[in-house]
Amino acid sequence: MRVVLDAFEAPAPLRVAARVVGWPFKWLGDEGDPSMPPAVRALSALGPAYIKFGQILSTRPDVVGAEMATQLRVLQDKLPPFSVEAAEEQILAEIGLPVDELFSEFSAPVAAASIAQVHKATLRETGESVAVKVLRPGIERAFRRDIDAFYFAAWVIETLSPSSRRLRPRDVIAHFEGVVMGELDLRLESAAASEFAANTVNDAGFQLPQVNWMLSGRRVMTMSWAEGVPLGDNAAIDAMGHDRVALSRRVLELFLNHALRDGFFHADMHQGNLKVAPNGDIIAYDFGIMGHIDEYTRRVYAEILFGFIRRDYKRVAEVHFEAGYVPADRDIDEFARALRAVGEPIFGMDATRISMGKLLAYLFEVTERFGMETRTELILLQRTMVVVEGVARSLDPHMNIWRVAHPVVEDYIKKSIGPRAAASDLMKTAAVMARFGPRLPKLVEAALIRQSQPEPEPQRNPWPARVFWASGGAAVSAAVILLAPFFG
């Protein structure tokens, strides 16, 4: 952990907090593989949830340094695999047929990540090459252990540092838990892949493998084989003659289009889940973590991005206040000046000279100064934005995120914010009102009757029940909440 914090140039308070919170959890992991670099060894030994954190850092050489990012990239798809025999047993249990009857060829693992591993196989019936994804045995229990530890750590942080409560640590862990639980059911991943494919069918330069529903279930997922080179292998991309600058732009444009246009985006877009096809298309796979944002949030996000692009910091500040991201009692002009201090250095400096570590540290100071709470509905969006920008910069270190985002965000603004969008909103509202039209008179009448009647006096609980809820019930509830993380 010390190696990661050094690479991140973490401030002293964060280092102290990491030591205090991390000390009780040394017993959770194992010693790890001594041949691995220290950071990779530590994160892989701690468990799958910590590996997810390492995968994010692996996409940001501008934050942790090029050497550390290269080391951490092992966590994306090159972890120690489990045996082929164990994979075959899970396929038999899930599909109901032995591997030999389903496939004429079934390879050793070609990729292994924190949750599952992938085998290349050939369908016996058609001869088609497919990718078979199989969950790691016991992965549910391993994740449950990590999440319980996270809940306890969040409770410790909130107890020792009341000021941290604005970051809502326990809500963040609850959000992460929901994401992970969905990732552990490959039927949901298959459904997400199908929906994502339907949304992006007309996206130029973008491909998705197709799900084989007959050979997929809760712990096994089969898709068409994606032929290409990993997006993180710059040497192989150059050898194939592809334009890395164009690929850098496209990966960011695709993410923004999916997030803004569709409100449904791939939320785990590190290099281990992306390939470049022989024809230059970007291929995405592994749809266990998908992000969804509603239309209102998309408009807020687009306005914030567009305000930064136009360097209209006053408008960016206004959008934050309008959306409730900043408490109303704070000074909007002061907040706009703080945002200017964030944005101006980025616009006036080459991308290779921007210190993302310092920028993130200052952004944290701004959120603390203005009492901004964590927005759990934006966690996946913000996380993916950081990852995608890191992937794009690994292809083109000089890539300017604002220049690339400008046409995509501007196009969305024109379509979603303006007279045409207002007319569309009115039509949607009218459709909802028409659907409830026959019930409106009764609803209005019932509301008026309730308003005209005097409020009944609150009923008093019998003495034993009142005592229970005033003392013992509250104590039991608190005990359940605090002790639940320790019991899977």
Over residues 401-440, the pLDDT tens digits come to 888 888 988 888 888 776 666 666 677 677 766 776 677 7
Residue 365 has pLDDT above 50, yes or no: yes
Inter-residue contact 271 to 302 (CB < 8 Å): no
Known catalytic membership, residue 268: yes
pLDDT at 263: 92
Catalytic pick among 62, 77, 148, 268: 268
pLDDT at 464: 41
Residue 155 has pLDDT above 60, yes or no: yes
Looking at per-residue pLDDT, the higher value among 415 and 56 belongs to: 415
Looking at per-residue pLDDT, the higher value among 6 and 184 belongs to: 184
pLDDT at 487: 32
Query: Whole-angstrom Cα distance, residue 213 to residue 201?
Result: 19
pLDDT at 221: 96
Looking at per-residue pLDDT, the higher value among 36 and 309 belongs to: 309
Residue 484 has pLDDT above 60, yes or no: no
Residue 24 has pLDDT above 70, yes or no: no
Mean of the per-residue pLDDT values of the chain:
78
pLDDT at 427: 74
pLDDT at 468: 34
| Listed range (95-104, 236-245, 347-356, 400-409) with the worst mean pLDDT | 347-356
Predicted TM-score of the model (pTM): 0.72
Residue 229 has pLDDT above 90, yes or no: yes
Over residues 311-322, the pLDDT tens digits come to 899 998 999 898
Residue 472 has pLDDT above 70, yes or no: no
Domain boundaries, the chain: 1-79, 229-433
Q: How confident is the model at residue 395 (pLDDT cuts 50, 70, 90)?
A: very high
| Listed range (87-96, 128-137, 170-179) with the worst mean pLDDT | 170-179
Over residues 444-457, the pLDDT tens digits come to 778 778 777 766 65
Q: How confident is the model at residue 60 (pLDDT cuts 50, 70, 90)?
A: low
What percent of the chain has pLDDT above 70? 74
Q: How confident is the model at residue 61 (pLDDT cuts 50, 70, 90)?
A: low
252: Cβ contacts below 8 Å, ≥ 6 apart: 388, 389, 392, 399, 401, 404, 405
